[in-house]
Each structure stands twice: as structure tokens, then as C-alpha cells.
Amino acid sequence: MKFSNDNKLLALGQSARAVAKLAVDSGWQVVTIDVFADVDTQDLAVEAYRVRSLAVEDLRPALDEVMRRHAPTHCVYASGFEANVDALHDLSKRLIILGNSPDCLASVCDRDRFFRALADLSIPFPETGFVAPEPGLWLCKSLHSAGGMAVGWQMPLQAAASDSLYWQRYQNGVVYSAAFIAHNQGVDVMGFNRQWSVAVGDRPFVFAGAMSNVTLPPDLAHRVEGWLAALARHFGLRGLGSLDFIVDGDVCHVLELNARFSASSALYGCDVFGAHVAACVGDYAGCKVDDFPRASRVLFADGDWVIPRDLPWPDWAVDRPQPGSLIGKGLPLCSIMAAGFCEADVSERLEHAEHFIRQLFQ
């Protein structure tokens, strides 16, 4: 299937900035719908729409306006639809989705089905249950969340069972992800990312960023690539995504499959968006990726901060809130980007960048 990118593309999700940036760099005109409408998202988009949530009742009026004013034919979605698959079904009636279908996303987000698939494919994962276990080192997770925003320690008075929760035994280790493109011939791993999390209030493992192109032992990399190939076949994946896993010595467990555009995809260069589109329409012929480490870190406010109107944002600060916005303690303030020749170089640049941003609010 061939089509032109002369028409406008709709990018939408909890935050549409990363999708919009890659799409614009690939030559698309982009309209966005998300819950932030950050300054840099508005700068990228032909028009940026802000919604309260991605629920059908909030999304549909904005979508009506987008269709009336801009008439896009295709869309790409990012995180946030894990809990709003019905909104994605609604979207698919009006636009061609460049990404996994609503049914595919629903299958991956069905935790019981996902973990049964892991078991059937002999892919290791932490001990998991849908009934509250005996007290111990267990994490309680939402069935429909992303980014660690609804992950906490098991609490004594939690319900024994819930339609919205599951429990997973805590695992020591380092969290990584495999950034991939799934296509009709299989799946290509673009690279491996080291992921970071921070404690924010009562949420101990909130996603705080990632560094691309980290080196894994060859046998571990080969093992993860095999698991990913099996999962891509099982669920019929298409396009960009990521597989999260945790490593402790020789032990590796799969944590989560993100069957949609992941922000870490942007760490591999501007060519990945064109490859994503090609994979989704059956024209995939490979993907050229940047092979040096690049990182993105989310900064959370350590107090209640009002964004000044004349704040001198540096170019490497993205997801910039609107001037005058109140960013409450523990909420995302912005993201910072860095690249370098090695992991240590990138880490040092991130530390300097974070210090610079926090000094702006002293």
C-alpha cells in the first residue's frame, strides 16, 4: 500500500510531543490531541488540541473538530490508550491507524491473556496473581496503566481480588527495554535501553527516562530477541514498540510489552518514523538507526512551581509546560535530552542538564 504524506497526520496520546517531533522531521504536517498541549507540541503541530483525558467522552469532541478543520486520513497513537481501548475502536472507524489495531492492543493489555502467552511460549516472568497473596515483597499494579504511575507495594488492607489490580512478586535487578519494529517479515530490534524509575509520593517505580544503545551480553540479547520474535508472531504486532525486562545476574524476566509507539523510539533517530509507517502498510525495507547512546530523563517538580512567562528554556528541554502553569509537587516538569559517545558521557550531560533546570526554579 502506497500513500502520500501530503495529508495531515493526527498524533495522539497522553503526550503527543514525541510522535509529533518524529513525524514532522519525516515531512508530515501533524495535528495533535493530548492531555498537555505543551509549548513545544504546539510549536510542532499545525494545531494542538488539549483534552481532559483519552476517554471516549473527552476525546470525541476534539476528534470531531480535528476532522472538520483538518480532515486527516491517518493517525499514530502513543501511551494512554491502555485504559481506553474503546476510544481507540472509536478512532479506528474514522481514521486509518498506523500502528497495532485496537484488538491487538486489547489482547496485549489483557494481563491474564498476556501472562498466559508468556507461559505458553516458555518466556520467564515474575510470579503473578490476580488475587491478593499472603504478605511479602509483592507489587500491586493496575491492569490499565503505563509508566509505573499505578504501581505500589502490596498493602495489608487491599482487596483480596479486584477487577482493576494484579499482584507481582518483586524482583531485584536492572530494568531494560528492547526497542523494536514489527513488520510482516518478523521483528527488528533497534537497540536496548536502560530504564530509570524514581519514587514519587507513594509510587515507588515511576518511569523517569531511558538511555538507548546500551550493551547487553550477547547471549542475553539473543534470548530477548527470540522472546520478542515469538511475542510478535503470537499477537500479530506491527510497527514500533518496546519490551520491558529486568535482569539480575543470569536471571531475566519479562515485565511488559508496549504494543504502541514508545517515547524511547525517538532515541534512535528521525528515520524510525518512516520505518514505522512502512511496517504498518506492508512496505518495510529496514530501518537506519542512530548507533550512539542518547537519553531522555523526566524531571519531577520537588515543590509547587509556577512556570514563568520568560523562562529561558534550553533546546534540550522538551515537554515544556505552558507559561503560568502550576506544576504541583511530584508532577512531571519537563524532560531533558542528551547524547554522547558513551553511556558515562551521556549520564554526565544529563546531570548537568538537570542541575541547570532546577537552578531556574530556585
Q: Contact, 29 vs 9, CB < 8 A?
A: yes
Q: What is the pLDDT of residues 104-134, one digit of tens each?
A: 999 999 999 999 999 999 999 999 988 877 7
Distance CA 190, CA 268 (A): 7
| Range 107-281 has CATH code 3.40.50.1980 | no
For the chain, which ranges sit under pLDDT 70? 1-6, 144-163
**Residue 1 confidence (pLDDT):** 41
* 8-98 CATH pick, 3.90.550.10, 3.40.50.880, 3.40.50.20, 3.30.1300.10: 3.40.50.20
**Do strands 47-50 and 29-34 pair parallel, antiparallel, or not at all (unpaired)?**
parallel
What are the CA-CA distances from residue 53 to residues 33, 59, 117 (Å)? 10, 7, 30
Residue 79 grid coordinates:
501511551
> Where in the chain do CATH 3.40.50.20 domains reside?
8-98
pTM: 0.93
Q: Per-residue DSSP letters for 287-302?
A: -----S-EEEEEEE-S
Q: What is the pLDDT of residues 10-42, one digit of tens each?
A: 999 999 999 999 999 999 999 999 999 999 999
Query: What is the DSSP annotation of 74-129?
Result: EEEE-TT-TT-HHHHHHHHTTSEESSS-HHHHHHHH-HHHHHHHHHHTT-----EE
Angle at 228 between CA 222 and CA 232, to 5 degrees: 145
Q: List, in sequence order, the alpha helices (H) in the chain.
A: 17-25, 39-44, 56-70, 85-92, 102-109, 111-120, 218-235, 271-281, 343-360
Residues of the chain with CATH 3.30.470.20: 107-281
Are residues 334 and 319 in contact, defined by beta-carbon separation less than 8 angstroms? yes
Angle at 140 between CA 191 and CA 251, to 5 degrees: 45
Please list, in sequence order, all residues whose beta carbon lies within 8 angstroms of the beta carbon of residue 293, skipping any fewer than 6 positions away: 211, 212, 213, 214, 339, 340, 341, 342, 343, 345, 346
Q: State residue 148's pLDDT score.
A: 47
Q: Which long-range contacts (CB under 8 A, 24 or more apart) does 336-343 make?
A: 336/296, 336/297, 336/299, 337/294, 337/295, 337/296, 338/294, 338/295, 338/297, 339/292, 339/293, 339/294, 339/295, 340/292, 340/293, 341/292, 341/293, 342/293, 343/194, 343/211, 343/214, 343/293
